[in-house]
Each structure stands twice: as structure tokens, then as C-alpha cells.
Amino acid sequence: MVTFKEKALTFFGVKRKRQKNISLAANGNIPLPFHINIELTTACNYSCQYCAVTASSYRASKIKKAEAFKIIDDLAAMAYSAGVIQLSGHGESTILPWFEELIIHIRQKMPHISLCFHTNGSYLDKLAKTIVEQKVNNISISVDGGNSEVFDKIRGKGSFEQLVNGLTLLHQYKMEQNVGKPHLCFVATLMKTNIFELDKIIELAHRFNVNQVITQPLTPYLELGTEAFTLSSLDQQERARAYDAVSQAKQLAETKGIELQILNEDPFNEPETEWNLAIEKQEREAENQTNDTDNARSTNGAEHSAASKTENETGGTASSTSNTQENPTSSSIANKQYRLCSDPWKIMYINAKGGFDTCCFRHDDVTETLKDYSLNEIWYNSVGLNKVRNDLRQGHLDEVCAGCTVRTASDHPPEIPETWTQ
């Protein structure tokens, strides 16, 4: 058993315990992360048609208020000041009654941090004033339709009106204060239901001075039957129409001065259902392992959180944290040994269970949690996280990394700088 809790060291002002049997040298340099993603909750006030949250087997978790505030205090103590803090994950962070307080706390502790979050837009009207006053830098808003008909069908009745109210108030406060922040970005998950709506989404962006629209592919979930929503399920004729719709939307975006980014380059390059099954398989295996370890631990009388045994989150979000790397096409994935992915060195994903994810698709590599270890310890010494880093460096890709549709396949490993500047 690895004695992860040996001697306490002080590192960046945070208590750090020495870990045995792990060779950090094998991983080369591990920079301080640039991007901290904190998933405050996996619960949501919406039940979107295609989202894992809607599945009956879904169990939500949330970070306790005190834990969330401590994460911020620990980051501030690490002298973490030059990067990005993003509050987002599987659920809807803005539903937490202390969300606004947390925004204010982050600004107090780290005045220069770039503060961002991802939202379904349902609470933007209530939060608009604080968002503008606290100089939130970026908000990604899920916008899957440009009118209530399509939007409400996907996200629920009244959701479009709620979004428009929020956008209106945000715009109003920005005008009153004469500020450009927050920068807004619309994120559309493309599927059969909305591929022919892309132009309307662009029009909506234009109406609210939003100059960036990103589209991402749908990750199908068998339990929700959402493979039937994928673009790949369109027939030949509709497929040709869909390509036309995308190129028209590109032209429209250009004339309106809006950056339209197709995250997977070709909208028809969608993740396979089998790929998602590979993720689910990994999650089940990790859960079984956790349960085995838990049983052993409880026999030994060691502490254990009962909650983690009962929580069974399905799947991962296809939403990807912004990254400058380019995206692969289906043909480029074949026969490439490496993937140009720097996420495990660049982005610290803290999940709603107080654990760490490796990226938005890999949820079970890191077994250490913030209950037992500091942020520093996990970032530098987690066995699972370091294994994925090594595998990426050596081109030993498992099913999940090998099937990833958002990071470029390559003949050489990713290059990791000593320090991130962006």
C-alpha cells in the first residue's frame, strides 16, 4: 500500500505530504495547471433530451459550500493567479444558492484570475448584476436553438424565454456600466433537431452582441436512445442539406463578424456509441474497484465516504474546455500512435465528489480525493493521473484516448512546456 501520507512538506505554501514509490521524473516536468475547472454540482434544474443528467440511473453529487471555498483558498495559497478558473461540469452550477457568494469570494482572493463558467442560461437574469460587477470574464451558454420551438423541445418549456431574459439583462448591465465583460460564447450541441437551425443561433448571437459560437458533436447515450439524434443517422439527402446548412451558417457568421468554431471540424465526425460505451466500461470497472477497496477498507476500519458507493454517474459531457489544439478528423485518427492532448498537464478538473477527473471524458483515473490529499499532492503525485500522462507521452493509448474526437491524432507525443502562458 502506497504511503501517500508520509512526511508533510510545504510546497507553494500548501501542506504537501511525500508520496513513496512514484517516480515523478518518469513524467518529466509537470507545470502548475493553467486552467482550473471546478464542477460544483452534477445536479441540474433541466432535463435536456440528450444529457446524461436525464438518464434514470443518474445520481447527482455536489461539493459542499465549505469545500468549494477551501479549494479557492488553497489555490490562492498556491500563488495561482495567472490562469483561468472555470466553474462548470456535468450539472448546472448556477442553481447552488451560494454560487453568487463564491463568485465574489474568487474575485476577492484572486482579483486577476480569468473567471468563467458554463451555464444553461436559466439563472442569468438573477445573476446578471453580480456577474457584471464582479467582472466575470467569460460565460459559455448552451444554445441549441435560435427560437423557443427548437430550444424548448431540447431543453424544456420556457427555457428559451428564460435565456432571452438573462441575455437582455446582462446586455443592459454591461451598457449601464459601459463594460465589455463578460465575453459571451454560445455553445451548440449539433444534432438532427437543430442542424438546420444553426443560422438562427447565429442570428440570436448577433442580436445580443455575442461574437463567438462553438458547435460540438453529440455524444450518444444508449440509455437515452440518443444515437437516433446523431447527424450520422441522417439519410444521404438530409446529410447533403445539413452540409449546406453548415456552410450557409459559416457565411452568415462571417458577414455578422461572429467566429463560428466547429469543434470536431466536420460535424459528421461524431463520437461512436461504442466509444461512449468504452467510457462507461471504464467507469464501471473503477466503481467495482472502488467498491472492492472500500470493502477491504471497511474491514480494516478505515474511513470511507458511503456516498461514493451509491453514486453512479453515467457518461461524460462532450463539452470541451477551450484549448488551442486542433481537432482530428476520422481519417486522421487511424494509424497514429499519439494524441496531441495536454489536458492532464494543463487543466485541473476538480469534480463534484471532491475528486479529480483527468479530462472531460476520463472520470476514474484519479482515486485520491480532497478529503485525504491537498490539491498539490493530487496534481503532482496522483498515480492514475501520472499513468495517463505517461501513456500519452509514450503513445500507449487506451480505448478512451484512442477514440477521442476532440484532440488531434499525431505521429509524435504532445510537447509540454515548463510553464503555461496561455
Ligand X SMILES: C[S@@+](CC[C@H](N)C(=O)[O-])C[C@H]1O[C@@H](n2cnc3c(N)ncnc32)[C@H](O)[C@@H]1O
Residue 405 interacts with which of ligand SF4, ligand X, none, CB < 5 to 8 Å by class = none
- Shortest distance in whole angstroms from residue 114 CB to ligand SF4: 22
Residue 321 interacts with which of ligand X, ligand SF4, none, CB < 5 to 8 Å by class = none
If we measure between CA atoms, which residue out of 45, 37, 123, 39 comes closest to residue 89?
39
Rule CB under 6 A: is residue 46 a binding residue for ligand SF4?
Answer: yes
Torsion of Cα atoms, 202 then 204 then 206 then 210, to 10°? -90
Task: Tell which positions 89-128 bind ligand SF4, by CB under 6 A.
Answer: 90-92, 120
Rule CB under 6 A: is residue 163 a binding residue for ligand SF4?
Answer: no
Closer of 170 and 401 to ligand SF4 (Cβ) = 170
> What Rg, from alpha-carbon coordinates, does the chain have?
21
Scanning 19-27, 88-96, 170-178, 292-300 for contacts with ligand SF4 by CB under 6 A, the matching segment is: 88-96
Residue 4 interacts with which of ligand X, ligand SF4, none, CB < 5 to 8 Å by class = none
In the list 36, 48, 242, 278, the residue contacting ligand SF4 (rule: CB under 6 A) is 48
In the list 53, 136, 213, 359, the residue contacting ligand SF4 (rule: CB under 6 A) is 53
Rule CB under 6 A: is residue 47 a binding residue for ligand SF4?
Answer: yes
Residue 187 interacts with which of ligand X, ligand SF4, none, CB < 5 to 8 Å by class = ligand X
Please give the residue ranges that form the binding site for ligand X (CB under 6 A).
44, 50-51, 88, 90, 92, 118-120, 142, 187, 189, 216, 218-219, 221, 317-319
- Shortest distance in whole angstroms from residue 316 CB to ligand X: 9
- Cβ burial, residue 262 (10 Å; 0-12/13-18/19+): buried
Q: Rule CB under 6 A: which residues touch ligand SF4?
A: 44, 46-48, 51, 53-54, 90-92, 120, 142
